[in-house]
Amino acid sequence: MENTKKIHPADRIATLPKYVFAQLAELKQEAIERGVDVIDISIGNPDGATPRPVVDMATKAIQDPANHGYPNFRGKIELRQAIADWMKKRYNVEIDPRNEVQTLIGEKEGLANIALAYTNPGDINIIPDPYYPVLCRGTLIAGGNPYFVQLKEENKFLIDLSDIPSDVAKKAKMFFINYPNNPTGAIAPKSFLEDVVQFCKEYGILLVSDLAYGEVCFGDYRPYSIFNIDGAKDIAMEFHSFTKTFNMAGWRCGFAIGKEEFINNLYAMKSNMDYGTSTIVQDACIEALNMPMCHVQGIMDIYHGRREVMARGFTELGFYAPRSDATMYFWIKIPSKFKSSMEFTKYVLDKTGVIVTPGSAFGSLSDDHFRVSLVQPNYRIEEVFKRFKEAGIRYE
């Protein structure tokens, strides 16, 4: 007799919002199949090649049978040492490579796992809105309750701590911040970070700082590490990515730093779930961290040049598109005739073949914005604006 019992996935699958970037990928594929010359300025997927020394090192590492087995769970000590040296060189922060570093299979993985390591079902985690999706999704997967704090333009997209009621703060377990910020491009002054550290200390909250854009900055501006703030080590962890700094999105590598106790709990999650970052990739990461900084500067100079073209193009069409000192993004209001950011996104794709990211990808409070990334060469960015003009797309 055939069993008719239906096999249901866990409730968390039903409650997880659809990943908007996956939806965009489907829309893109459909357009390509229709023969559209698509220009994708949605996802922050760097278009440049990984620097040559890194590729050469990986090519060498893959030949070595010693790299063909399971990696070290925490990351090889040579990589953890290179990470500690990098933190000293770039941020003047001291990290113990043995106990205060965990390598990641991309920062996204680490951000999800740290939420799982610290969130019990029903726990409250404070999350800015708009947010990079995993900053919220980790909490949802763990059965926790996100408490969203809106990032407002009038506050330069910095979290207003007075928007967090004290009964929420008293109960909160984790607080996620991300400056330089995706998607708004906002940067955090030291005084803001000091206030957040003070707040988390006062209420006993684990502060998770996502520094994915630590190197994506222009002119004289340099972001702070959270560990530049006195006392942060007691309550904070910081997550880094190789993706944007070294054009290594596809290699899947990042790292978390913080005091031993926090790192050990992240390690407890990870060592039960994965085997760590491929040793071949780890060797490439060591090379990336140790190579001359001109390689990183070259990548950032390209974004800097594109930022001008993007800012001019949108401004000419009536959009308010201020240049940010960091990140590869512009966060722009949709024209008022559109009811939602997804409606605007679909309209733009249909009329011009250009893909932007709807604000709704970053939270329910952001449906009146869209985000564009500096991931196309200048001539393609110029083409975006030519098509917008032809299609009559402007801010009104």
Ligand X SMILES: Cc1ncc(COP(=O)(O)O)c(C=O)c1O
Residues that bind ligand X (CB under 6 A): 44, 106-108, 132, 178, 182, 210, 212, 241, 243, 249, 254
DSSP alpha helices (H): ranges in the chain?
A: 11-15, 20-33, 52-62, 77-91, 107-118, 134-141, 166-171, 190-203, 260-273, 279-290, 294-316, 341-352, 378-391
The residue among 352 and 373 lying less far from ligand X, judged by its C-beta, is: 373
The residue among 243 and 352 lying less far from ligand X, judged by its C-beta, is: 243
Q: At closest approach, how far in Å is the CB of 243 from ligand X?
A: 4
Is 58:266 a contact under the CB 8 Å cutoff?
Answer: no
* Dihedral over alpha carbons 104, 108, 113, 115 (to 10 degrees): 140
The residue among 258 and 353 lying less far from ligand X, judged by its C-beta, is: 258
Q: At closest approach, how far in Å is the CB of 82 from ligand X?
A: 17
The CA angle 56-293-48, to the nearest 5 degrees, is 60
Q: Count other Cβ atoms within 10 Å, centred on residue 94.
A: 11
45 class by beta-carbon count within 10 Å (0-12 exposed, 13-18 middle, 19+ buried): middle
The residue among 104 and 205 lying less far from ligand X, judged by its C-beta, is: 104
DSSP code, position 326: B
Q: At closest approach, how far in Å is the CB of 131 from ligand X?
A: 8
Parallel, antiparallel or unpaired: strands 206-210 and 174-177: parallel
Q: At closest approach, how far in Å is the CB of 328 from ligand X?
A: 9
Q: At closest approach, how far in Å is the CB of 270 from ligand X?
A: 14
The residue among 131 and 319 lying less far from ligand X, judged by its C-beta, is: 131
Please state, in angstroms and rounded to a whole number, the distance separating the CA atoms of residues 328 and 47: 12
Strand-pair partners of 39: 354
Q: At closest approach, how far in Å is the CB of 178 from ligand X?
A: 5
Q: At closest approach, how far in Å is the CB of 335 from ligand X?
A: 26
DSSP code, position 245: T
The residue among 67 and 241 lying less far from ligand X, judged by its C-beta, is: 241
The residue among 84 and 326 lying less far from ligand X, judged by its C-beta, is: 326
The residue among 238 and 283 lying less far from ligand X, judged by its C-beta, is: 238
Which residues does 38 contact at the CB level (< 8 Å), separation at least 6? 28, 31, 32, 349, 353, 354, 355
The residue among 144 and 185 lying less far from ligand X, judged by its C-beta, is: 185
Q: At closest approach, how far in Å is the CB of 331 from ligand X?
A: 13
Residue closest to 325 by CA, chosen among 155, 111, 181: 181
Strand-pair partners of 177: 209
Q: At closest approach, how far in Å is the CB of 184 from ligand X?
A: 11
Please state, in angstroms and rounded to a whole number, the distance separating the CA atoms of residues 278 and 67: 8
